[in-house]
Structure 1
């Protein structure tokens, strides 16, 4: 289609559809189900539903605004349920105008909630909103899981009784794992929680890590009752959650230092005894160091061994390019989506979307790349952010189409060459 934006770079991938998401071109997480895309906005304050049954002509059909002063930046869709996080909009807070503050120390300490009390009267909504999406383009709220604190950051839910939530609760230094019982989705309740010792300041715990390191659960993926948690500068935890009321640590690994932290996205491949883990690049020009996507051998869960890293994009000087360069999210092999234990899809921020073949996990190779055109309009309201692509998330549907979103540049629907 001649009216599609021309990508900055493409290899073995082709753009077939694009949308500015109804004028709200910002996105942080995307789910595609039953021919509809659910996109969480970091700046526009809410989430959108797009009809993508014709992937060459994605059509916005609904925008659901967030409550006042509230982030709804991540979501999960499975069968008839949609779970949307609610948390204080931290990027609207002047204290976090400099990214180094947000990524460089405990959020609870920065805003004064780690000691056990809220820094000020809560004017935002904190928790997880639960919608019925039996009618895909008409989400209907049926439940809410409240959190006494800043709120939820991200959720893992692929059906069944439990959802796994990263939550910042008053009294903790930063986000921890909270397991939510959805036996009755109209009345969700907490089943259990897990944190790294030192995070529960209200209980008298003292962090063992330096003040300029951020130990915070970004999110955990769960497979076969094992939760793989990424804790930013706190590294990786493998936790047995067979008893949700009493999660048990199997092992904790942290490669920061010497590496730069930011451990962000896990992807267990249990059929092969492998785990893929991406460290997020959080500062421009690799100021936080070169970030990698690691492959671990987890045949012995108590002793994960790093055996390789995915290749770093190098067809252009992405370090010199404005914005963040490096890993962010991984396609997560969700039920009903494209599932593979040898083909990995990932976002690399200013280097766009990448595909990797890990048939030989010791020698992974890149097999496709797509760097979308830069934004025509900035939605990111933070001062001084550059107008370049910052690909944030990618979802691959069962037919193999890629749905990629960006901080400012809308939805790209991409065909992979295989």
Structure 2
């Protein structure tokens, strides 16, 4: 695509567009990984995942598409070496009960799906678990393994090679997603090794929640550093877990600031060289219905007592509240091995406010140093009723050379340069 044909941003600061792809006519994306010159992109509405050759970032080229099983989504994935791990779970946004997104983000998800009470097991029409693919030949990937889950499925995985993977799983008998460890010693036969949940989530064991029924006390996903899992537990906030014994994870500390803040904790990114933790609360409803959300900086020098010491600035060069859709944080670049790793620059998506870059050299005063707000998507892939045609920047990945990759629920893949 020639430079003059590239989509032009609504706003940019110290960032410019280098390349763009509609991902083979499937421009919707959720999690993306860039690995050995290829982008792997989980779709929200296109029922599967795609592979895009980005070795020439000015001319990204879709090369493969893998359809999802019936009524199943593959929205999240992980890459390392020659392996690709892909979640399989009930396609929530295709279900009638979740066409109003408030139903997905409020209350115990397992109750609504029917897995909390293990209802209608024989009539479930989705695939639940984790698929493993060989990506040694990225344009001809093949599935080599699968780990089934009894329940709704896997939501998001953390895997950076070696024996252990970690994930959030919606399992029969639990109110919502819990933490599991996965033994990857044989990639063709991954197996669950251990699990952890907050007390009150295990209905099958007779536990009862002590939080309001409108709250989502469910794990989004963990990030692992050493023997600690930093788990984003949606409306339950931050949960730090000792995983030295992968078969028997133990609680280190649980911190929650909702209420008074609006919940939705989505990412917990450790910066171990500085004893800091970046914690992002996701904006999950339109027009700030769930309140203004923040990215928080925590001091974790004392693991038993994480302390919030600052918040990142909120984009303010336009009236994003009135723009429509979700305004606020969604995802962080997570410093994966082999990608751009920094404890001074943080990359985040802000949904209708695009991509943001923050300088955190002074941890008490994060400063925005870059921004890119894509134009409105050409069309809506989101089939839910009443969705506005505005950008909803979803995930961001920064490669080892500093190129920034960003996608959207509807708008395709943007490849950006950042020059502060």
Pairing of 1:209-220 with structure 2 (within 5 A): 209-220=211-222
Match of 1:414 among 413, 416, 419: 416
Match of 2:117, SS state, is coil
Match of 2:5, SS state, is coil
In structure 1, the gaps of 5 or more residues are: none
Match of 2:364 among 353, 362, 365: 362
Match of 1:249 among 251, 267, 272: 251
Match of 2:292 among 290, 293, 317: 290
Match of 1:57, SS state, is coil
Q: Does the 8 Å contact 1:226/1:239 carry over to 2?
A: yes
Aligned mates of 2:185, 2:73 — CA distance in 1? 26
Match of 1:330 among 329, 332, 353: 332
Aligned mates of 1:198, 1:120 — CA distance in 2? 27
- The equivalent residue for 1:61 is 63
- The equivalent residue for 2:91 is 89
Aligned mates of 1:11, 1:115 — CA distance in 2? 50
Report Cα offsets for 1:297-354 as digits up to 9, x if no partner: 0010110000001110000000111100000100010011000001000000000000
- The equivalent residue for 1:221 is 223
- The equivalent residue for 1:21 is 23
Match of 1:199 among 201, 211, 233: 201
Q: Does the 8 Å contact 1:34/1:136 carry over to 2?
A: no
What is the deviation of 1:111? Answer: 2.5
Q: Does the 8 Å contact 1:36/1:137 carry over to 2?
A: no
Number of equivalences: 418
- The equivalent residue for 2:53 is 51
Match of 1:232, SS state, is coil
Match of 1:156 among 148, 155, 158: 158
Aligned mates of 1:254, 1:138 — CA distance in 2? 45
What is the deviation of 1:134? Answer: 1.2
Aligned mates of 2:203, 2:191 — CA distance in 1? 24
Match of 2:287, SS state, is coil
Match of 1:412, SS state, is strand
Q: Does the 8 Å contact 1:401/1:416 carry over to 2?
A: yes
What is the deviation of 1:199? Answer: 0.5
- The equivalent residue for 1:396 is 398
Aligned mates of 1:34, 1:100 — CA distance in 2? 38
Aligned mates of 2:239, 2:354 — CA distance in 1? 28
Aligned mates of 2:367, 2:92 — CA distance in 1? 37
Name the stretch that deviates more: 133-142 or 83-92: 133-142
Aligned mates of 2:286, 2:90 — CA distance in 1? 25
Q: Does the 8 Å contact 1:218/1:229 carry over to 2?
A: yes
In structure 2, the gaps of 5 or more residues are: none
Q: Does the 8 Å contact 1:164/1:179 carry over to 2?
A: yes
Report Cα offsets for 1:378-401 as digits up to 9, x if no partner: 101111100000000000000000
Q: Does the 8 Å contact 1:344/1:357 carry over to 2?
A: yes
- The equivalent residue for 2:146 is 144
Aligned mates of 1:118, 1:337 — CA distance in 2? 43
Q: Does the 8 Å contact 2:113/2:152 carry over to 1?
A: no
Report Cα offsets for 1:89-121 as digits up to 9, x if no partner: 111111111111100111111122212344651
Cα RMSD for the two superposed structures? 0.8
State whether structure 2 residue 352 is matched by structure 1 residue 350: yes
State whether structure 2 residue 316 is matched by structure 1 residue 309: no
- TM-score normalised to the size of structure 2? 0.99
Aligned mates of 2:390, 2:362 — CA distance in 1? 34
Q: Does the 8 Å contact 1:161/1:181 carry over to 2?
A: yes
Match of 2:73 among 50, 71, 74: 71
Report Cα offsets for 1:162-190 as digits up to 9, x if no partner: 11010000110110011100000111111
Name the stretch that deviates more: 72-81 or 131-140: 131-140
Aligned mates of 2:68, 2:248 — CA distance in 1? 33
What is the deviation of 1:137? Answer: 2.2
State whether structure 2 residue 389 is matched by structure 1 residue 387: yes
Q: Does the 8 Å contact 1:342/1:357 carry over to 2?
A: yes
Match of 2:130, SS state, is strand
